[in-house]
Amino acid sequence: MTQDGPDTLLFMRRLLSGLALCATLGASVALIGCHSHYIQATITNASDAPLNVVQVDYPSASFGTQLLAPGASFHYRFKLLGSGNIKVSFTDAARQDHAQTGPWLNEGQEGTLEITLPSQDHAEFHTSLKP
């Protein structure tokens, strides 16, 4: 049997410290590399009446809410899996359906999308997106 001397213990400590440092750096690189591109969307009813069945269609999917009260906002986060125009449709207080096409979105973009409904028949789109 061999006896562990001070040199062997020092070597083992340095080896374990080095391995711990490598593991920490590896985990950090993995986390940084796993950035998910998404768009944070907000729909705001700026009109003076409730809107019903508010739906946003974007490339490959859609989202929405059954009712959006006056002054209320609905928030949704999504990932683009395709490219194309965004569209919003809604029903006003008089039960008339409305639809409007918005800007073109490209797969992989990220940032914010704001859809404001200032009246019962109109939508405004504001984007802040990065390729």
The verdict on 67 and 103 lying in the same domain is yes
Looking at the structure, tell me whether residues 54 and 6 fall in a common domain: no
- Mean pLDDT, residues 51-63: 97
Average pLDDT estimate for 105-126: 96
The percentage of residues in the chain with a pLDDT greater than 90, rounded to a whole number, is: 71
Q: What CATH number does the domain containing 70 carry?
A: 2.60.40.2890
* Separation of alpha carbons 44 and 101, rounded Å: 16
User: Which residues form the domain of 109?
Assistant: 39-130
Q: State whether 26 and 43 are in the same domain.
A: no
Shared domain check, 126 and 69: yes
Number of domains the chain contains: 2
- Indicate whether 59 and 115 sit together in one domain: yes
Same domain assignment for residues 71 and 103: yes
pLDDT band at residue 13 under the 50/70/90 scheme: confident
Q: Which two tokens stand for residue 75?
A: 């928030």
pLDDT value at 33 more than 80 = no
Query: Given a cut of 60, is residue 122 above it in pLDDT?
Result: yes
Report field, pTM of the whole predicted structure over 0.85: no
